[in-house]
Amino acid sequence: MRKLAAALLVAALVACSNPGYQVKGEEVVYRQRQSDGRIIDLPLKVDVDSFEILDANYARDKFSAFFGADALDGSQPATFVVLTFPYSKDADNVYYKAERIGRDASHFQILQDEFSKDSQSVYFRSYPLQADPETFRVLRPGSGYASDDSSVYWARLKLDRSSPATFELLNRYYARDEQQAWYRGKLLPDADPASLVLVDEHYASDGKHVYYQDEPLPGALAESFEPLAGGYFRDQATVYFDGQPIPGADPSTFEVDSARPHRARDKNRSYDKGKPSSS
């Protein structure tokens, strides 16, 4: 009996420490976790008699719907429904978290990669895009790239002078069209898109330049640049770790430890995550 009582007490304490709505007599609070881990109680102005908790993030009374402690502007609680987090809607309005993003709820669609659309607009999270909803599509889930008939987008960014007809993804980060190349929506300076090939997930080369993410590696020799393992790369003159040259490393004798790929050595010394190591 004592064990059961103790277990119930622990469960009650855990429940009280979790974020979410709590009704305390005539008061309703939303328990919110702060960035430092503290949980604070935010009081809500609600009609307690009609207050209904929908889930940990959403609630309603007869006057309004709520996201956390925020009343949703213009919401119609009688028709309010929770969609895939963080979207919700009522008969007319669509919300992203606490922001109203659209007034065409009957045509609203949630797409991948935090894109959505209705018959009038396309959205990335809560940001409206100047895109055509009829032809808008996500190009590869998980990449952040999407297009309509006239432009390509990465997240909320419209890629300047992009060509949807010739646009292709090399992986979920690198992409190109007939004139330009990008890494996560950032233009690769001076890249030749026709010659661009992947060296590794976050490295690419056009035969003249080697790029780490969206930046060229200064002095890197494209013709001899190659991946090793564990984040190490080399050309005939330099060894690199995570896009940075390793001073004094000897490329010709540099070897990565197959059992511990963050460790490596050359004829001069050992390395751990690109830094000289005593062992």
pLDDT tens-digit map of 101-138: 999 999 999 999 999 999 999 999 999 999 999 999 99
Residue-wise pLDDT tens digits, 129-178: 999 999 999 999 999 999 999 999 999 999 999 999 999 999 999 999 99
Q: Would residue 74 be called left, alpha or beta, if left means φ above 0 and alpha means ψ between -120 and 50 degrees?
A: left
Instruction: Measure the CA–CA gap between 89 and 160, rounded to whole angstroms.
Output: 33
Alpha-carbon gap, residue 194 to 139, rounded angstroms: 20
pLDDT tens for each residue of 219-275? 999 999 999 999 999 999 999 999 999 999 999 999 999 999 999 999 999 999 999
Bridge-partner residues for 42, per DSSP? 30
Token pair in block for residue 96? 């992203």
Burial of 41 (0-12, 13-18, 19+ CB in 10 A): middle
d(CA 224, CA 210): 10
In whole angstroms, what is the distance from residue 145 CA to residue 164 CA? 11
Q: In Å, what is the CA distance from 222 to each residue of 164, 191, 230, 240? A: 29, 12, 20, 13
Return the CA Rg of the chain: 27
Cis amide prior to 86 (ω within 30 degrees) = yes
Neighbours of 105 (CB within 10 A): 19
